[in-house]
Chains A and B, each alone.
Chain A
């Protein structure tokens, strides 16, 4: 967020307090060690008690990797993330295609734009029942897709989805590791962060 020109504010998991922020990013990591199921325990953190209603009210929320898993466990997003096909952790640079550039987190991209962003996950295969997947596709809620097939076995190559309103987005890839070619494969991921800053400051896309 600092690279994108915004002021990052840390939220503590045990505080029922969003500290007046304009948007929330649930980052990757291994909350509670991924014990039980990735995200299953963190979903009950006190801060989630504030975040869930705020997100329902329209607060922009981006969940990355473990953050995506938490959003699914919290039922802010449909479906679930399960063990990768092959059952091994996978870290690789992958090509993504932006399929919905209308969310506040993707408004800076063009639909169809290709991005190079790393994935690194053990439980990254998105699954949902066929009706839900059809509904996500039909309503444009598939936000990004793996361009060359999903290494982790994600249904329909889905890499990220949004809620119906579009303010809550979950991504399995890590755009925060693609903000500077010095420390990542590209700077393509920065667009997610500049998009939300643009949306919040009214600068538009």
Chain B
């Protein structure tokens, strides 16, 4: 049917059976399409609507909640473009703006880890490119099942090699991210990729097709059968326990990072020559998405001649051409008088470019194939998609879960017990040295990386003369979010905010990747709604906007959803990267100071997980005023050159922060603790940091802490080659290092 299914045929054959269910549309949605068109859709139109209305492309379940994230005027101070555009654009001063966004590639990365993760990088890079920015760095936030699980051994090495293969070849430094393990992610790994791009204020591009008669150009790779309905349909349904995976396997895309590199340089030259009226990257839903979004965002219609689209497989049907997710493609709207210059620049970069149509005035998206019209739709009806107010339900077991706190768990009673606990946490896969992974990433290429993993935040220089830079961090904690999605999301926001501040940068904007289970489960929808509410409230409190993000649903196997896992990215502006400090102890004889208040907070903690495999109680409290004061203090102190190091406290509390500061800096410390040693070492109270002070400037720093109303407790001094906690234990750095570095190589080889 699809071969000859023209608009005319469709109008004549209303009774024809169509595979809308197989394409992921419901009965109601299919009927709605028929109502919009006043006839049944053609096969090509059905394909187009099915991908555009998929959860992945339309956000139909999450949209009503995401509206809460619209920034207020106060939050929008530094914003040039917000949610709705491909990615938010933030003014960082000195005429520069940056755009950044995080996106999931979870489902493809489970099905085919290497290509799934690789094309995740490729997709987010094109998103940033489409804003008019030069991509300057990437990050990745990864979550897998238990490190020693059979399937993790298949998925993790492939994901890492895919990110390494694509990002390194593309010439983008990978400056940080996360790596965590939890049984909740077995069968549903989370592969979230972030890209940040840099532009001048005037370089901002928009994804609209305006100007009747302007040419529509498709450029980059040819369109092939790979990824037909991939991310859009694949990422919009739950993996079954049965043959579902096998059936979907061929739909993962294949990446060509060298073509992407050519495409990046080609686009930047096209921008510089001012030859583009509008531009859109081709990601999920390929040509279908680019044509509908460009024309829906413009003021007219669009005509496309599908016969001239360069194909890798001449047997593709119109529906397949529309749905193909072949990578490394872009679509631009170009004035006719600029077309030849446009094509010449593409030739210079060996990028194939084809004029496939033009902007029209009839308000319709029309496509012809082999002489007949196969698509004729009002584009906005496809681009906007349905909106669902799905039912919400607080989990029935949540009260019981929150009531079964960690209070009754056995705690180490003496020095040797505390020592053993510290080493158990430090060697646990989620807290162990990540070099097995990060050594496969090039963090230096482009020559502007000032800080990268394992530092708290990545830091990239933007202005060589002025020292202007940007800092980035991502954080998420599914365990906290299971206990309380509102608070858990706020804790992730607080941690990313704190991490950025540790470099000396001022946090200014937020991106988010919301990884959840099936929206058809009211419990999952409740988690999503609570999470978004927490994020919105937190950002308002901190006075910084959410500039964009991505929602990944259906992360579940059968009826079991993953931990609700919003991953929050925070961007900061660094006025002078030359003043930055490391998280590691950098100076001998430096006073070691704990900033912030420590309470007895163990719900969802690393200790409860590693030692007791326990999840219950309430996550730590959030105090955004305290977070803000801490950030202001550390930023001011870094800028004044008072600090020798700064490291935030998070999972594993002070114990892990001390161990990491010793290991990163290759230097020991001797500290004394007040009150209950176990709480002092392992509590995960938020709004805390571990700093060391440049010798001779202790009083100055104490005065600054007092001025900013941040509690500062002197713990001791950096010295020697052991981590010594007076009256409790000491651990030589060699032993710390062995425990820390040994874990991942022992598992992954």
Contact = CB atoms under 8 A, between A and B. Distances in A.
B168 A183 contact: no
A174 B438 CA distance: 18
Interface string B139-171: 000000000000000000000010011001101
Contact of B257 (A33, A122, A184): A33
A193 B540 CA distance: 50
Given A30-B171, A177-B447, A88 B161 contact: yes
**Contact size range, A:** 20 to 34
A30 B442 contact: no
B258 A30 contact: yes
Contacts of A92: 439
Contacts of A33: 169, 256-259, 261
A174 B169 contact: no
Nearest to B170: A30
Interface string A71-93: 00000000000000000111110
B128 interface: no
Nearest to A179: B447
Contacts of B444: 91, 118, 120, 174, 177, 183-184
A30 B447 contact: no
B134 interface: no
Interface string A22-39: 000000111011110000
Nearest to B441: A91
A90 B256 contact: no
A118 B445 CA distance: 11
B450 A183 contact: yes
A27 to B, nearest CB: 10
Contacts of A30: 168-169, 171, 257-258, 261
Residue among B256, B440, B578 with the most chain A CB within 10 A? B440
A203 interface: no
Nearest to A174: B444
A182 interface: yes
Interface in B421-468: 438-445, 447-450, 461
A122 B164 CA distance: 10
A61 B717 CA distance: 50
Contact of B168 (A120, A177, A182, A184): A120
B164 A182 contact: no
A188 interface: no
A89 B171 contact: no
B577 A182 contact: yes
A34 B440 CA distance: 16
A184 B577 CA distance: 13
A101 B213 CA distance: 64
Given A30-B169, A177-B447, A88 B256 contact: no
B258 A89 contact: no
A15 to B, nearest CB: 11
A176 interface: yes
Interface in A163-190: 174, 176-177, 182-184
Contact of B440 (A90, A176, A182, A183): A90
A73 B169 CA distance: 19
A91 B173 CA distance: 11
A174 B448 CA distance: 14
Contacts of A34: 169
Residue among B165, B256, B448 with the most chain A CB within 10 A? B165
A91 B169 contact: no
Contacts of B578: 182
B706 to A, nearest CB: 32
Contacts of B443: 91
A89 B164 contact: yes
Contacts of B256: 33
Contacts of A174: 444
A92 B256 CA distance: 25
Interface string B699-717: 0000000000000000000
A117 B169 CA distance: 20
B119 to A, nearest CB: 15
A174 B446 CA distance: 12
Interface string B338-363: 00000000000000000000000000
A89 B450 contact: no
B581 to A, nearest CB: 12
Contacts of B258: 30, 32-33, 35
Contacts of A184: 444
A13 to B, nearest CB: 10
B24 to A, nearest CB: 34
A177 B173 CA distance: 12
Contact of B461 (A28, A89, A183): A183
A90 B442 CA distance: 8
B639 to A, nearest CB: 16
A169 to B, nearest CB: 21
B257 A120 contact: no
Nearest to B438: A91
Contacts of A91: 438-444
Interface of A: 28-30, 32-35, 88-92, 118, 120, 122, 174, 176-177, 182-184
Given A33-B258, A91-B443, 4 more contacts: A88-B440, A89-B441, A174-B444, A183-B444
22 contacts: A28-B445, A29-B171, A30-B168, A32-B258, A33-B169, A33-B257, A33-B259, A33-B261, A35-B258, A89-B440, A89-B442, A90-B439, A90-B440, A91-B439, A91-B441, A91-B442, A120-B442, A120-B444, A174-B444, A182-B461, A183-B448, A184-B444
Q: Which 5 A-B residue pairs are closest in the complex by CB-CB distance?
A: A33-B258, A30-B169, A177-B444, A89-B440, A120-B442
